[in-house]
Amino acid sequence: MNAFRKLGRVAGIAFTLLAAAPAIAATCGNDASGFERWLGEFRREAAGAGISASALRALDGVTYSTQVIGLDRNQKHFSVPFEQFVANRVTKGRIAKGKQMLKQYAGPLARIEQRFGVPGTILVAIWGMETDFGANSGKMPVFRSLATLAYDCRRTEFFTAQLLDALRIVQRGDLSIGQMRGAWAGELGQTQFMPSSYVKYAVDFSGDGHADLIGNPVDVLASTANYLKAYGWQRGADYHQGGGNFQALLGWNKAVNNARAIGLFADKLAQ
């Protein structure tokens, strides 16, 4: 999934720090020269915002990434016909794999639909389109990516919130520091949650004590359903363009073609 679409879907979420937390005011910069100073300032202010010393160890050795900055500066906004958009996303191979996943996770998907109202075909379609069912979740160090983008002056407020919530994911024990790898802009897990969405919507549906969106498909599917429910998903409503659930799919990803593709994928999975 293109990062600009992923960021666009969460840019409107209101992010809040802990009630007594001070504002994070470390000085941003546009090259690597001030990064170490910024990181030291951020660490002190994050500690004041309630981040534990053990979680802050995630920032040990973190360096500025010119690769991440390059990727951020070179995003391409393409508008393509729907048929072209779905050609490499809703493929025969993915449909076949998706049907296998529907059978493999039939029990959990039924319980997820009972709780959140989202059918398994929609969840499996999103799973397939986002990361090819977990095969391509990303391997970049999330803390390096987020620290670089939080320091960068372009969108420092947004990514500072993401970095704080990435630390909270570690602090609450959902993922270890070593597990925090994902896409270049900090997206995590098999359906690519930004950290603030992870903190807000991830659920421990498997009951093992951790909301693991990297290694536990049951948590992945349930958390994706929880996200959609929070964006207004209505049990049983139509999810195609013009239907009651199409806006929830746009809450997942603001690109109309993407929402339409999810619906098409789900339809094919149901056949």
CATH no. for residue 255? 1.10.530.10
If asked whether residues 25 and 53 sit together in one domain, one would say yes
The verdict on residue 7 lying in a domain is: yes
The verdict on residue 65 lying in a domain is: yes
Distance between CA atoms of residues 97 and 94, nearest Å: 5
Distance between CA atoms of residues 94 and 71, nearest Å: 27
If asked whether residues 53 and 146 sit together in one domain, one would say yes
If asked whether residues 54 and 93 sit together in one domain, one would say no
The verdict on residue 248 lying in a domain is: yes
The verdict on residue 195 lying in a domain is: no
Instruction: Give me the domain span that covers residue 238.
Output: 82-137+200-270
Contact yes or no for 48/171 (Cβ under 8 A): no
Domain boundary, last residue among 161, 190, 219? 190
If asked whether residues 151 and 264 sit together in one domain, one would say no
Distance between CA atoms of residues 63 and 159, nearest Å: 16
The verdict on residue 172 lying in a domain is: yes
If asked whether residues 90 and 59 sit together in one domain, one would say no
Domain boundary, last residue among 124, 158, 190? 190
If asked whether residues 57 and 108 sit together in one domain, one would say no
Contact yes or no for 249/191 (Cβ under 8 A): no
Q: How far is CA 10 from CA 15, 110, 146, in A?
A: 10, 28, 15
Distance between CA atoms of residues 145 and 121, nearest Å: 32
Sort residue 236 into left (φ over 0), alpha (ψ -120 to 50) or beta. left
What pLDDT sits at residue 22? Answer: 45
If asked whether residues 152 and 167 sit together in one domain, one would say yes
Q: What is the 3-state secondary structure (H, E, C) of 204-253?
A: CCCCCCCCCCCCCHHHHHHHHHHHHHHCCCCCCCCCCCCCCCHHHHHHHC
If asked whether residues 20 and 131 sit together in one domain, one would say no
pTM over 0.85: yes
If asked whether residues 161 and 128 sit together in one domain, one would say no
If asked whether residues 122 and 93 sit together in one domain, one would say yes
- Domain count within the chain: 2
Distance between CA atoms of residues 239 and 260, nearest Å: 9
Look up the CATH number of the domain holding residue 8. 1.10.8
If asked whether residues 93 and 209 sit together in one domain, one would say yes
The token pair at 70 is 């390059």
Q: Provide φ and ψ at 152, rounded to 5°.
A: -60, 140
Active site residue 113: no
DSSP SS3 for 23 = coil
If asked whether residues 180 and 220 sit together in one domain, one would say no
CA angle 157, 161, 163 (to 5 degrees): 115
pLDDT beneath 50, residues of the chain: 2, 4-5, 12-22
**What is the DSSP secondary structure assignment for residue 145, as one 8-state letter?**
H
Domain boundary, last residue among 190, 222, 254? 190
What pLDDT sits at residue 205? Answer: 98
Catalytic residue (choose from 41, 45, 83, 130):
130
